[in-house]
Amino acid sequence: MHGVLARHRRLVIVIALAALTSTLSSLYFYRIGSLLYFGDAEAHLNIARRLVDSTTPGVDQLGSPWLPLPHILMAPWASSMFLWRTGIAGCISGGICFVAACAFLYAAVRRLFGESPACVAVAVLALNPNTLYLQSIPMTEPVFLAALLGVFYFTVSGSVVGAGIMALAASLTRYEGWFLLPFVALYFLRKRGWLPAVGFSLLAAAGPLWWLAYNGWYFGNALDFYNGPYSAQAIQGAAWYPGRGQWSTSFEYYFTTVRLVVGRPFVWICGIGLVVAFFKRVYWPVFFLALPPFFYLWSMHSASTPIHVPVLWPFSYYNTRYGLAAMPLAALGAAAVASLSPRSTLVAASLVVIAVAGWLWKPGPETWITWKESQVNSVARRAWTQQAGEFLRGRLSPGDRVFSGFSDITGIYRVAEIPLARTLTPNNGVAWAMATSRLDLFLWERWAVAQTDEEVDRAVTRAGSKFELVRKVKVQGAPDLNIYYRQEVPK
């Protein structure tokens, strides 16, 4: 009994330290103003807000490209104007998932290698600045990390139901969650037989089946998330990028990304640890945690998923966060090395120091590649979002509404503290279709906000002199943003 309590006490300590680390990290990124640098972070936050605040709120506001669970988890917090405006809504759900991920990792690795290696694994994951940044902002990575490590723990501990529930969560968070399902089903088939494997499959497959049905019902195409107008395939198109159709180049770019995310010297130590794990017959954990990195390697080669890093052509930043998929595998490798001397505090401490040494040698976010990507790629968007939001803040009279695009433009209303229920945007279905097809009859909005020559801007031009251009926001590297106003609206 005393041993059980001691084991739970250690788990509680891990959870408490993870929660403290998450909170301090989120406060740091809030203080330096980078919670919403990523365009995707802004978009995820605004989707969560649209679920409860829209001209047409409801489940259809989830859209089709991104899976729904992160937005659903974020929605209660995003319903607060303060938490939405500041971006803190994303810190809360992300932080909770980060703590859950640390707990699952600790519990699973403790079963495999013991107490000290488990602590090393959690420290390696939790002290990596790229992990900390992504758990602090409204992204899908922390939710998937929790689900992935939940499946990891429940397969190691032998719980079919637990693994099924966490696999369901993974399949509703990121598409690599779908990729995991057949492998976990085969694992249970081999370990437990047909009935547990079928039970897991029925539970886990409910996520993809629901998403196919949702896309078919709301968008008329069950595969709209894959080949629809907002899908990754449509965005990338046939454009060539390094690694497309080339396994060797895909591996070079992805492995370089992993080194930049995990840490250059430490990734080799973790590689040695994975060899140690194999010699210790820890086959399934290594195989399972290698699946997400392989998914991204495969996606680079075959599924229109480019990754750009600053040390390889075209010497830019794009999708570097996909390197985070290798962090659980790296943590397992570090734990395996620690298991060679499981009672040595010196070995454990040395591994943790090596893991963070690169970040301590050059402290500050400039060396954290995921943060740097978000900062570099958002300069123009942040500038016009802030300028337009500050212009609109306080200018709308009671009852005034805005005719607008959505996507990045939604950030303007967050800055201006304008509820999305006072906007008419393409995600408002019939109301949008009526307004854009018969501007003379159904366009009742007093304000319009649009980038030059996009759909809303062209509609305002067709409306003629009814709208007056009252502000043009010009930012280098972005289309001009136009803000229109009209004195009279239809009654």
Domain positions in the chain: 2-376, 379-485
Confidence grade of residue 465 (pLDDT, cut at 50, 70, 90): confident
Residue in this structure with the two tokens 């229920």, named with its chain if needed: 421
313-320's contacts with Cβ under 8 Å and 24+ in sequence apart are 313/242, 314/242, 316/376, 317/369, 317/372, 317/373, 317/376, 317/377, 318/373, 318/377, 320/257, 320/260, 320/261, 320/369, 320/370, 320/373
Residue 343 pLDDT level (bands cut at 50, 70, 90) = confident
Can you tell me whether residue 403 is helix, strand or coil? strand
pLDDT in tens, 301-325: 998 899 999 999 999 999 999 999 9
State how far the Cα of 148 lies from the Cα of 305, in Å rounded to an integer: 21
Output helix, strand, coil percentages for the chain, rounded to the nearest 5.
Answer: 70, 5, 25
pLDDT in tens, 24-83: 999 999 999 999 999 999 999 999 999 999 999 999 999 999 999 999 999 999 999 999
Q: How do residues 9-27 score in pLDDT, each as one tens digit?
A: 999 999 999 999 999 999 9
Average confidence (pLDDT) over 332-354: 93
pLDDT (0 to 100) of residue 67: 98
Please give the mean pLDDT across all residues of the chain: 95
Are the C-beta atoms of 125 and 98 separated by less than 8 Å?
no
Per-residue model confidence as pLDDT tens digits over 213-254: 999 999 999 999 999 988 888 888 788 999 999 999 999 999
pLDDT of 140 over the 70 cut: yes
